[in-house]
Amino acid sequence: MGRITQTLIPRSQRQSVAELTDAVDLDHGEVVSKRTGFLIMLVLAGLVAIAGVLTDSTATVIGAMIIAPLATPIQGIGLGLVIGSRSLVGRSILWVLLGTVIVVLLGMGFAAAIADPGRLSGNSQIAGRTSPNLMDLVAALATGLAGAFAMCRRDLSAVLPGVAIAISLVPPLAVVGVCAGVGEWDQAFGALMLFLSNVFALVIAGAFVYTAAGYAREPSSSPTAKRRRSYAIVAVLAVLVAVPLAANTLVAFALARWGLAVEAEAQDWLADTPDAYVDDVTWSGLTATVAVVSRSGDLPPSSAFVDDLAGRIPDFVDVVVDLTLGAEIPVQR
């Protein structure tokens, strides 16, 4: 290891390859104990996350993050890539896939049985996990670096619960299952993208840290050519995740900008109508809905509003005015 790496990961605190493998490989060492522990904690974490999503409880969802064991096999993928162990990579991927399927099926089952699709539309736990962007990927990469760094050092295991909270693996899967269970496939896909971005961020960050820590040069590691091939595969998959996240970031930025323009023009349109005002501007795809509240229901001609919007937003963006009568009802006391 170089001087900087030795400073960050002192030899006295550095985990050996055998110790690290035992920590992340569910098919190494006490196999039965590891597997049963993983499955039990995964199911419990899934149930807690689903309950937190359905009840819109942030505290409950955080509890699911703490007990979620999915980070273990994901770290196994990163370590397997660095030491060139295809068997470790393959086994770890299978455990991640199994965990994904279990949590999603649990979410679908509970959503189909007890969820009210109408109430889920305003659920903050769902809204915050169905439109990932590049900042989510950046946060996941930083968290992955912290997690892998803590795995390399014996004296930093205490930070792993904080890493588990930050990376958030099981809650997005719970959202996938809940949304799929009520037929909200667009939101389910968005939550799945968040989960995949977190997974790949953990793998990439783990591979980087384990390589810097010198595990790639251990005598038990395979030839460099195999590791380079594995790195290339991870890089391609990372691009496949990063591109849609970048596109979603640009779309969100554009919608926010157009929404401000629509709201400003709507307020100017209603400036001479004292009993009407703009309550909100919401988006459904490329359609902006302007919520207008009026006591009388009389609005100025919409042609002026349409003319003012020309040049402020693209022609392919549709604008709809949703009028609500807001009559004042005196209360006798």
In the structure, what pLDDT confidence band is assigned to residue 44 with cuts at 50, 70 and 90? very high
Tell me which of 285 and 180 has the higher pLDDT.
180
* Within a domain: 187: yes
* Within a domain: 236: no
Cβ atoms of 79 and 211 closer than 8 Å: no
Tell me which of 1 and 259 has the higher pLDDT.
259
Give me the domain span that covers residue 277: 255-325
**Do 100 and 174 belong together in one domain?**
yes
* Within a domain: 231: no
**Do 292 and 154 belong together in one domain?**
no
**Do 172 and 263 belong together in one domain?**
no
**Do 203 and 311 belong together in one domain?**
no
**Do 214 and 274 belong together in one domain?**
no
Question: Which of 174, 206, 222 delimits the end of a domain?
Answer: 222
**Do 216 and 260 belong together in one domain?**
no
**Do 202 and 93 belong together in one domain?**
yes
CA atoms within 13 A on the CB side of 305: 19
Express as a percent the part of the chain with pLDDT over 70: 86
**Do 144 and 200 belong together in one domain?**
yes
Question: Which of 222, 243, 266 delimits the end of a domain?
Answer: 222
pLDDT higher than threshold 60 for residue 60: yes
* Within a domain: 25: yes
- Phi and psi angles of residue 324, each rounded to the nearest 5 degrees, phi first: -125, 130
**Do 79 and 162 belong together in one domain?**
yes
* Within a domain: 75: yes
Per-residue pLDDT averaged across 52-70, rounded? Answer: 84
**Do 29 and 95 belong together in one domain?**
yes
Could you tell me whether strands 287-294 and 276-284 are parallel, antiparallel, or unpaired per DSSP bridges?
Answer: antiparallel
pLDDT at 137: 81
Q: Distances from the Cα of 272 to the Cαs of 57, 150, 168, 279, 298, in angstroms?
A: 43, 62, 49, 16, 11
Please report, for the domain that includes residue 93, its CATH number.
1.20.1080
* Within a domain: 112: yes
DSSP 131-180: S--HHHHHHHHHHHHHHHHHHHBGGGGGGHHHHHHHH--HHHHHHHHHHH
**Do 26 and 141 belong together in one domain?**
yes
Q: For the chain, what is the domain count?
A: 2
Please report, for the domain that includes residue 310, its CATH number.
3.30.300
Cα–Cα dist 192/248, whole Å: 14
**Do 27 and 122 belong together in one domain?**
yes
pLDDT higher than threshold 60 for residue 113: yes
Cα–Cα dist 79/280, whole Å: 49
pLDDT higher than threshold 60 for residue 224: no
Per-residue pLDDT averaged across 202-227, rounded? Answer: 74
Per-residue pLDDT averaged across 101-122, rounded? Answer: 84
* Within a domain: 18: yes
Per-residue pLDDT averaged across 190-200, rounded? Answer: 87
Cα–Cα dist 117/328, whole Å: 31
Q: Is pTM, for the whole model, over 0.85?
A: no
* Within a domain: 146: yes
